[in-house]
Amino acid sequence: MATLQKIRNRGPVIAIVIGIALLAFLLGDVSKLFSGKEQSLAEINGTAVSIQEYQTRYKNYEEGMKLLTGDQTINQENQKFIKSQVWDKIVKNYTLSGTYDDLGIDVSNQELAKIISGENIQTGIDPLTRQVFSDPNTGQFSPQRAVNFFSNANQTPEGAQIALFLEQELKDNRKFTKYLSLISKGINITNFEAKMLYKERVEMVDFDYSVKRYASVSDSTVAVTDDELENYYDSHKDEYDQEDSRDIAYIVYNVIPSEADKLVTLQDLEYYKVDFAQISIDSTQDEIIDWVNANSQTPFNFIHLSLEELGDTSLFYANPDSLIGPVYENGSYVMRRVFDRVIIPDTVEARHILIRPDGQVIANMDRAKEIADSLHTLIKNGEDFAELAKNNSVDGSAQKGGDLGKFTEGQMPREISDACFYGKVGDILIVEGQFGISLIEITDQSKDKKEKVRLAIVSNQVRPGNNTISEYFAKARDIAVTSDNSIEKFDELVEKEGLTKRIATDITPETEVIAGIENPAPIINWIYKDVDEGSVSSPFQDGDFFYVVVITEIREEGIAPFEQVKEKITAEVIKDKKGEMFANEMKSINTFEKNAKNISFSSSRLNDDGIEYAVISTASLYEKDKISEPIIGENGVYVIKVTSKTGVDNIEDIDVSNDKNNALRRLLFRVNREAFEALKEASDVVDNRHMFF
């Protein structure tokens, strides 16, 4: 972090470097940083991937995301996203580097410059470039921000290093795009295929049918022998190829704060209450805001609320010197003060010119303020605001004359929002904010203004104390120990204690979500260590939860053993025997209870009888007015009689270009979506991530 501070001290341009580069550091090619004998997180096409490489990539990606989002912590959803991105990046780099060389795929410096500036019209703006160089106010890609960054990055060794990492990531992204393009160029839909697709879509049949559904006869009435089951298994083994996976049962103890824990939190807030009440309402708003942010677990919310939005008359009209609370609400103790009572509109329209220090031409905020003052004078003297915005603003709205559109409170930074909502239409204001100096003109406000207030809210959640946590741990430990690595004993204890047993099936080392478990990684790590079916875990703790887990089934990679899939095989054999039995019974059918209309070969569903490809394909090709032999389908056995057929007389005269284009578009979409997954499957990837986290 000392390096980050040094970069910040170099000026705002290098601060931009920080915001985008730590993201890129991870994504760049850092594999050369690691050497020597290391513990392997994975092996990809014979090359070991160290845990140190993964951790370095993850840490820098995490730091980059923090700076890009402005958040100090990464929530669970983003942690999962980072893990996925880091892993995919490693697999992609190790899998494709040799392929790029063999195919001659590369990115020149000239091409890279076009990617950075957004000039590469054929390929569009690179997604990463769009993300890191978008204007924070508008979300629009800013070529000026991208070019300025790379133009100034070499001023410091840190900046140059960061730019190098980002350039490498942009090149990698472009190489993969070219690789996909090569694959796509080899894909086509022939005219013959397009004509067949057209026929399958427009040729329709109507038919009458009778059906005897498998569900109409109980499975228990159909006898199957072990020989029949084993014969079916032997002839269908390929259908039972499986991944390495586990099934578990588990219980969850939610640690609920006790009354003693509530009292501790209440006493803490009562202590804060004295200081909170002593802040004068006549002091600056920043003093109240800073105090709230320092002492409340919920950040200050600067949005004003009307009486209707607040829904509490006594609070809305409370004296600013009075402090309401603490009161217990939704697991927290909360106290509130009303301040900053104003009459403001609901929405505002404005335009602005953003002057941001770049460390060079605009050395600092003082210089930015001077430029804003000069522009303010020009506007007062009749210069066109929109033209000045186009020529001077570094914001993404510059090309729209600085127009910010219509917005409500909360959609803009607080300094800009306050200026626009406190001012009046026609005001031209100079505001200093986190992104620089803004010259703002208020162009419109909603007509009906309302009295609104800001609330200073201090909220502290009641947390379980050590004694409470120990009590819940003891309960979980007792279940784990008494179960004695037995599924039956585990189930007995769960029922005896009145607990809810939860089930999770088909857990693989790559599984990221188990219902009811916030962080399943330690559990997945445990079930893939040297443990057996029936093993019961010691309690896992994750925040306010304890989990006890029992392994109910272990499936090894490869063809599933007969006993493991016997239940599935039994269901299939019973279904086949019903099909043969029903087919014999229905051979003489010549009356029909149901009918289907406008069915094409490309259809899949047969009315309320479900998906029936065999029935539909047979009907599409069957002779009119002829009764079919029994058709063994997915959900039952059918006999059909085609009553009407609508065909195409001469398909050679039909324009099938739309069918061809649509089919090609669908095929290319699948290629772009699934190419990387196919690459991973085709590569020799040994994934040991579950052994580490």
3-state secondary structure 646-675: ECCCCHHHCCCHHHHHHHHHHHHHHHHHHH
The number of distinct structural domains making up the chain is 5
* Residues sharing a CB contact under 8 Å with residue 279, sequence separation 6 or more, in sequence order: 287, 288, 291
* Tokens encoding 485: 């690595």
- How far is C-alpha 391 from the geometric centre of its chain's CA atoms? 38
Please tell me the distance from the alpha carbon of residue 128 to that of residue 148, in angstroms, as a whole number.
16
Assign 453 to helix, strand or coil: strand
Q: What is the 3-state secondary structure (H, E, C) of 489-544?
A: HHHHHHHHCCCCCEEEEEECCCCCCECCECCCHHHHHHHCCCCCCCCECCCEEECC
Q: Are 675 and 181 in contact (CB under 8 A)?
A: no
Assign 418 to helix, strand or coil: helix
Separation in Å, CA 11 to CA 158, 361, 430: 13, 12, 22
549 by Cβ neighbours in 10 Å (0-12 / 13-18 / 19+) ranks as: buried
Q: Which of 556, 580, 606 is the last residue of a domain?
A: 556
> Considering the domain boundaries, does residue 626 fall inside one?
yes
Provide the CATH number for the domain around residue 596.
3.10.50
* Tokens encoding 175: 């190489």
Element (H, E) at 339: strand 332-344
Q: Are 160 and 31 in contact (CB under 8 A)?
A: no
Question: Is 54 in the same domain as 147?
Answer: yes
Question: Is 273 in the same domain as 361?
Answer: no
* Tokens encoding 75: 């929530």
Question: Is 316 in the same domain as 360?
Answer: no
> Considering the domain boundaries, does residue 454 fall inside one?
no
> Considering the domain boundaries, does residue 192 fall inside one?
no
> Considering the domain boundaries, does residue 198 fall inside one?
no
Question: Is 474 in the same domain as 549?
Answer: yes
Provide the angle, in degrees to the nearest 10, between the axes of the packed helices 259-278 and 466-483: 150
To 10 degrees, the CA torsion angle through 187, 191, 194, 196? -120
Write b or e for each residue in 134-143: b if 16 or more Cβ atoms lie within 10 A of its Cβ, otherwise e.
bbebbeebbe
Q: Which residues of the chain have pLDDT under 50?
A: 1-38, 121-122
Please tell me the distance from the alpha carbon of residue 427 to that of residue 380, in angstroms, as a whole number.
11
Q: Which amino acid is at 72?
A: Q
Q: Are 150 and 175 in contact (CB under 8 A)?
A: no
Please tell me the distance from the alpha carbon of residue 689 to that of residue 693, in angstroms, as a whole number.
6
Please tell me the distance from the alpha carbon of residue 17 to that of residue 14, in angstroms, as a whole number.
5
Q: Which of 509, 533, 556 is the last residue of a domain?
A: 556
Question: Is 550 in the same domain as 573?
Answer: no
> Considering the domain boundaries, does residue 25 fall inside one?
yes
Question: Is 549 in the same domain as 570?
Answer: no
> Minimal CA–CA distance to 354: which of 204, 140, 502?
140
Q: Which of 344, 369, 402 is the last residue of a domain?
A: 344
Element (H, E) at 350: strand 348-355
Q: Are 464 and 255 in contact (CB under 8 A)?
A: yes
Side-chain-facing half-sphere of 682: CA atoms under 13 Å: 10
Question: Is 551 in the same domain as 619?
Answer: no
Question: Is 36 in the same domain as 179?
Answer: yes
Please tell me the distance from the alpha carbon of residue 82 to that of residue 88, in angstroms, as a whole number.
10
* Tokens encoding 584: 């014999």
> Considering the domain boundaries, does residue 410 fall inside one?
yes
Question: Is 22 in the same domain as 154?
Answer: yes
Q: Are 282 and 340 in contact (CB under 8 A)?
A: no
Provide the CATH number for the domain around residue 439.
3.10.50.40
> Considering the domain boundaries, does residue 31 fall inside one?
yes
For residue 520, whether the previous peptide bond is cis, meaning omega lies within 30 degrees of 0, is no
Domain region containing 302: 259-344
Per-residue pLDDT, 54? 87
Side-chain-facing half-sphere of 198: CA atoms under 13 Å: 22
Question: Is 322 in the same domain as 369?
Answer: no
> Minimal CA–CA distance to 426: which of 406, 445, 453, 447?
445
> Minimal CA–CA distance to 617: which of 631, 629, 636?
631
Sheet containing strand 47-50, edge to edge, reads 47-50, 40-44, 685-687
> Considering the domain boundaries, does residue 664 fall inside one?
no
What are the φ/ψ torsions at residue 545 (nearest 5 degrees)?
A: -130, 145
Q: Could you tell me the pTM of the whole model? A: 0.59
Question: Is 19 in the same domain as 160?
Answer: yes
Question: Is 357 in the same domain as 329?
Answer: no
* Residues sharing a CB contact under 8 Å with residue 96, sequence separation 6 or more, in sequence order: 175, 176, 179, 679
Q: Facing residues of 48 across strands?
A: 43
Please tell me the distance from the alpha carbon of residue 318 to that of residue 233, in angstroms, as a whole number.
77
Q: Are 163 and 99 in contact (CB under 8 A)?
A: no
Give CA angle at 41 (39, 42), nearest 5°.
Answer: 120
In angstroms, the first-to-last Cα distance of the chain is 25
